[in-house]
Structure 1
Amino acid sequence: MKTVLITGSSSGFGLDTARYFLDRGWKVIATMRSPQSNLLPESDQLVVLPLDVTSDESVRAAVEAAGPIDVLVNNAGIGWLNALEGTPIDVTRSLFETNTFGTMRMIDAVLPQFRERKAGLIINVTSSVTMKPLPLLSAYTASKAAVNAFTESLALELAPFGIGVKIVLPGSAPGTSFGSTALSRLQENGGFPEAYADFANGIIGAMRTSTDPRTLSSDVAEAIWYAANDSSAPMRIPAGADAIALEG
């Protein structure tokens, strides 16, 4: 039985991915800032652990408690929506601390066991906005694009140890809590700067009424499963109809 550790498993992509792997017979280490075991079906193959990817101590404790794993899925992330002028530098730091440095921190923690076994797979979940940038997402996009570049370089240095590295790039997923959380944080920080208000409200209105194909959480779970189980899978895997269209 293979084991996967998934960060950010309390909702959205992470929660659906945990369910997807459980249903297919894997042992799942589902990690969350505030563990809630009732989010997932009861199973002898499920372990729910506390994990804050911004904390060295929390990461070390979770990886030690998890024991040997075969696949690490770096899914934990936070969103942000605003023009750069409406983005406090502390917010930008928080985006990088979770989305970028949190990913690096998790990988650093599991590499010793992967190197010892000369096996293991790392799957980093980023975003399709790194393929086609969108307005009002500049700081967020930077934090995810950094992970893409980091992953591509990391793959080269880990190849001699038999360790694989993949990137899953989800498209827009309005059905998750990600967008609503980003909007809540926007309001908490004072909303859009006045000079950008008309432009920004127009963008948001267009997003809400768009009938373009979107991404489902199940699309992302399937893409992560593909990355974990098909050795012929490419390094970069778009997830969702809108993300796949960008690859074309």
Structure 2
Amino acid sequence: MTKTVLITGCSTGLGNTAARKFAAEGWNVVATMRKPDERLAAENPERIFVTALDVTDPTSIEGAIAAGIARFGRIDAVVNNAGISIVSIFEATPMNVIRGIFETNVFGAMNVIRAITPHFREQGGGTVVNITSNMGFASNPLLAVYVATKHAVEGLSEALMYELESQNISVKIVEPGAMRTTNFSSNTLSATQGIPIPESYKPYFDHMMQSMMSYPFDNADENQVAAQIYAAACDKSDRLRFLAGPDVEQTAKLRWTESEEKYITAMRDLMGHTAWVNNQEK
């Protein structure tokens, strides 16, 4: 039987690439986005069905699930890919902006999982794949809000891995590194424009932004990440996390094989934070 996956955030970037990957592997794809764009479906009309879904609107989610089932008969996997970010000083970030990011990244994923769970249970099982980031188990200055949302999804996913197993539903996490080839970074910087930088933080902000732009590791390729999403959706083992990208592999090695002190020291160096401190001491 041909399997079907529903993917959120398919208008561009990773979601768009993942939709193509699943279709190329013979899956049916319910490619969802807030504003449907039929160009993706036109590439493979037999396999790809585009429909509207806003992860912050439970009614929209139910409608997309119903439309996907009406088109393909069932949904075997859901990929929670939709996400947004900002680069900002936490102290200066308006709470309405913070809540908006949590609404998409955390509560949006929760909304989708809650909506699909009854369907998975009724059909005898299914798989939830949550896209987090290396920021889901590590941290970076200027990304405090985004980091907080991804840590939340990591914790949610691990708890649900056990809980939903009782319903024959699997939960997986895919952790991509930075992807320069998508528009996620440019969208992040665009969303940042309206958030002020307090004068006392300005030198540090500028230094850390420069460090972020010259991060020493190779970036993740969106096709590589899409392949990991596909692998996670197909995986039948107890494996929870799927790393995707050289930078996230290096960060994971530091996080999980070194002492806390060595990890913090190494991350300070990699992020350019140590260089900032040293400059201030001169």
Same fold (TM over 0.5): yes
**Residue 212 of structure 1: how far off its partner (Å):** 1.7
1:78 aligns with 2:79: no
Q: 2:141 aligns with which of 125, 131, 135?
A: 135
Match of 2:242 among 223, 237, 243: 237
Root-mean-square deviation (Å): 1.3
Shift of 1:233: 6.3
Residue number in structure 2 paired with 1:204: 209
Q: Which whole-Å CA distance do the structure 1 matches of 2:250 and 2:214 have between them?
A: 19
Q: Is the 8 A contact 1:227 1:233 kept in 2?
A: no
Q: 1:171, CA displacement in angstroms?
A: 0.8
**1:59 has 2:61 as partner:** yes
Shift of 1:214: 1.1
**SS of residue in 2 equivalent to 1:166:** strand
TM superposition score normalised by structure 1 = 0.96
Structure 2 residue runs without a partner (length 5+): 254-282
* 1:87 equivalent in structure 2: 93
Higher relative contact order (CA 8 A, sep 6+): 1
1:69 paired with 2:99, answer no
Q: Which amino acid aligns with 2:19?
A: A
User: CA–CA distance in 1 between the matches of 2:202 and 2:188?
Assistant: 16
Amino acid paired to 1:169: E
Q: How does 1:1-20 map to 2 (within 5 A)?
A: 1-20=2-21
Preserved CA contact (<8 Å) 1:123 1:166: yes
Letter in 1 for 2:120: F
Of 206-215 and 59-68, deviating more is 206-215
Residue from 110, 118, 124 that aligns with 2:116 = 110
Unpaired runs of 5+ residues, structure 1, are: none
Instruction: Give the paired residue count.
Output: 247
C-alpha contact 1:220 1:239 (8 A) present in aligned 2: yes
**Shift in Å at residue 39 of structure 1?**
3.5
**AA at the equivalent of 2:6:** L
1:177 to 2:176 alignment: no
State the percentage of identical aligned residues: 40
Correspondence list, 1:15-30, <5 A: 15-30=16-31
